[in-house]
Structure 1
Amino acid sequence: MAYILQNGRGILGDRELNVDVRIEGGRIAALGDHLPVGPTDEVLDCTGKVVTPGLVDLHVHLRDPGETEKETISTGTMAAAHGGFTTVGAMPNVVPVPDDADGIAAIRGRNCREGHVRVYQYASITRNRTAGQLVDFEAVAQAGAFAVSNDGSGVQDAATMYAAMRGAAQAGLPLAAHVEDDGLKNGGILNAGLRAKELGVPGVYHVVETAQLARDLALAQATGVHYHVCHVSTATSVDLIRRAKAAGVNVTAEVTPHHLLLTDSMIPDGPEAVNYKMNPPLRTERDRQALIAGLLDGTIDCIATDHAPHTAAEKARGLVDAPNGIVGSETAFSTLYTHFVRGKDARFTLAQLVHWMSSAPAAAFNLPVGQLLPGAPADLAVFDTEHEAVINADDFYSKGHNSPFVGWHVYGATVATIVAGKVVYIKEGVQS
């Protein structure tokens, strides 16, 4: 028996083609026009829908173990599936931190048993994520970590980062960096500028990000490590990465949907402001335009959500005391598609957007996913790009509802998500 997606508009690399997809044994068995259907085959009619490779997100926070009131492996990966993601990279800022072989093995086992999509697991760079002692890079690699990161915290000591890069390079692990110089932050809450002053909170200057990024790019050039920059937010950072790539540094970079779509000037008054608080903060329109340009010219390699769920009680603490972060898995594709492919600010093709959210992140970390090709894993997403929907937090599968996009009118809602040939999400009312 096969599962056949029929009459969809398939995104195959830079092409859009009317295509049927035949799935057998967890893999894509065939692509073609009007593929034959056997008497026992199941069919999903994708007429008027877009069929893409399953989306790949290199940057999510599942909060499990340790903070399961915010998210669990099950809810976080179901949220990913609801957004069309079939593969996610889980950051290590959980409790206990997966900083040794046993910790990686344990959390990978749970990811496999409890996850609804493919979960690749980061190990931390340092023991307990914030200490100065490095992890055993060879050991965590052998236990199955696909990369290392201290996301949520920058590595403050240059000697520690230099040694970490050497160790990660020797173990063949990408090092994904949260670039933030704590000594320059000075209690900053929002981007340093007019809106921070209006709201009466300390500002975060660009140099908090760019000073550490410049240091790291020099160290990456010296060590040859695959250095990946998380959630790039400033125009200067884009320029630094562009120059580093031109100089031959092995650097890749990601940008979030919220930094592409929002600026600090959009932060509202009142309690909703907390849903615009994240780290790094929303920047200026000049920065936003530089991030868009960086995607278009290849300086920034891919889009990643930085999905960061928090409880309503935590976000109710107010702008100064509420934690940083917003949920993003369930809104990323639709908001970006609506604004940049379909909307007045349309500058991306659908094929480009799909590339930055599937094959590009997979290629950056050499993951065997993100392709809509015969023989590839049957990881696919189906989107409705013709009918408008309204983002409603009550529809989220994530435990977190902390999003500035609630209430937005969008196109590109997920119709179905398939992982290894199994339908893990299908929109209510859709027949298969």
Structure 2
Amino acid sequence: MAQQEEQLIDLMDQTEDQAEDQMEEVLDTLQKHFRSLRNEAVRRRELLSCNQAVGESFTDYYARIKDLADEVDLCTGNPTSCTERQLQMLIPDTGADITVIGTIHLDALCIPRTRFEPPPMTDVVTADVSPQTPAVGYFEAKLHLGNKSCSATVYVHEGIQTLLLSREHCRALAIVSSDFPEPILKVTHVNRCTQFHATTMTSPAAIKDYFLQHFSDVLISKKDLQTQPLKKIAGPPMRIHLKPGATPFTVHTPRPIPFALRDQVKEELDSLVQLGIIRPASDNPSEWCHPMVLVPKDKGVRITVDHTHLNSRVARPTHPSPASYDAVHNISPTVKYFTTADALHGNWQMELAEEDHQLTTFITPYGIIQHCCVPMEFSATGNAYCLSGDMALQGVPNCVKVLDDILLSDEDLPSHLQHVH
């Protein structure tokens, strides 16, 4: 009796397994059917325009976009010209002596088996020194990556799931350096890779126009800031370090503004907000609040803040900055050509850490405002800016800098133009 019950239970389990398999087959068939009813372009459009909805958790968004990605065939057409498929299939392996692919890749790459040569009579081992399955054969191919190419012998093995590119072919295609695995002893960093050919230019005005045109992304004027944001210096934001036991300072009444300057002050404040240098403070109360100070100019007005009390309560970092006299004496007496550059709103190119914004709060007749960038009147601004500038220009020959003023010099014009470029 017990044996019959066990047989009945086994039979029921097998029936359930078969039912589950049949159900999966039905669901797969239905999915293929409904997928064929929809246009591939529509599915791609839904995937590319999929954004996280308001209030939707990232987990739900990730699951939704993954379902859309599973429905879209990102690689249609000729498989040999599909960049997405090639990148997914090929892995550089600097530990491999040969380039290998599996038999499962032949159809995807449109490689007929008639191209095979007889397999070599050599043993192939894997990274763990275990023997590799025998090669089915090999064929000659031309590998291309960007503007690099090389001839390659590609071995075909059973069971290979991923295409592996050998060390020599990685070198030939410039995926690794030609001296790999030797360490790279020297790296020359340049912002532009193009060669400068302007030896026919001798007029300073023509040379200036050339650089202003070709480097318009960094050589800008105050007028350009009306249509583009002020770029920030690369690197971590600056921190303000309060001394232990520092007491906050607060003023609750703004200083009066002369009637003739009110419109100019409001316009300047709005301009600084647009540039991302300052921002309206939040509703959260701040223990720090400083008075605004106006400095009239020939055209307009300069907005400054009296940070006297904050400066007396912070630990100031120190970084050497050469005096103008010392900088000039570092210039070789044989040079004849010079180029000067002045950083536009140099200090404001340095971002201030978010948690320190409230320390720079100042009051105006138009509301409470905080600095997003390093304030010019802060005692540590000059030291931090000089450090960032020296790090950015480190290694540039014939270059002297005083705060945000830079001077490049050379003995001949062609060398100087290449230097500046």
TM-score range, shorter chain: under 0.3
Structure number with higher relative contact order (C-alpha < 8 Å, ≥ 6 residues apart): 1
Larger radius of gyration: 2
Larger strand percent: 1
- TM-score if structure 2 supplies the norm length? 0.22
